[in-house]
Amino acid sequence: MIDRPERFAGLYELFRQAEIQLKQTEEIDRNLTIPAVNELRYVAFHLLRALSEQDSNGFDADIERAENHAKRAIYDATEASILSLLEKAEAYQADFRTLECTTEVLPNYVDLLRQLEKIRRGVSDIRASEELYLNRQQYYPQVIESIADLRELVATLEQADPLIRVKSRKKAIQLLLLVISVLAAIFGIAVSVGLHLL
């Protein structure tokens, strides 16, 4: 067995991060992300192979593979969280599209959409090319960065939702009353004209 504690420390750190992301994904998506768990299984496999390796080169290669799998696990778990949050944001967007008070409550709504689109593109671009996706371990720091922003954006939409609804309801009632008043006025005029003619 080759004794290289610094390599194990690096791998341990990545594994810990992967575990944190997986737990976070379970909380956000309420599902266990099997691809990420699968990657962690490969981490264990390569780690055990590295431990049984006598050759230094073989040891390094296996540790590197284990690290790459851990990074992919982080990426897969984080991607699942991002997708879940984007789906939530999409649902809010679909709702807000028909509510006229959205920009009154959220004056920076367009900016929010722009940021959402930027994050969405970040994930989609990696998926767009097979080569990029196979090397997705390189992009795990980017997705970890964007998840904090995304959580904040979705929280903003969540908080604004009831306020927008209350405002829109009030407006709808005002409009309904206006229509009823106009109709009543027309009816009243018609009746008075009719009575006058009689």
Taking CB under 8 A as the rule, does residue 159 contact another protein? no
Number of Cβ atoms within 10 Å of the Cβ of 1: 9
The verdict on 155 binding another protein (CB under 8 A) reads no
In the list 169, 181, 188, 192, the residue contacting another protein (rule: CB under 8 A) is 169
Buried b vs exposed e over 162-179: b needs ≥16 C-beta within 10 Å? eebeebbeeeeeeeeeee
- The torsion defined by the Cα of 12, 59, 38 and 147, in degrees rounded to 10, comes to 40
Q: Toward another protein, which CB reaches closer, 53 or 161?
A: 161
- Tell me if 155 sits within 8 A of 85, measured CB to CB: no
Site for another protein in 8-67 (CB under 8 A): 29-35, 38
Is residue 91 at the binding interface for another protein, with CB under 8 A as the rule?
Answer: yes
CB of 134 to another protein, least distance (A): 13
**Residue 186 C-beta: closest distance to another protein, Å:** 19
Q: How far apart are CA 134 and CA 63, in angstroms?
A: 18
Per the CB < 8 A criterion, the answer to whether 111 and 152 are in contact is no
Residues within the interface to another protein (CB under 8 A): 29-35, 38, 76, 79-80, 83, 86-95, 98-100, 110, 113-114, 116-117, 120-121, 123-124, 127-128, 158, 161, 165, 168-169, 171-172, 175
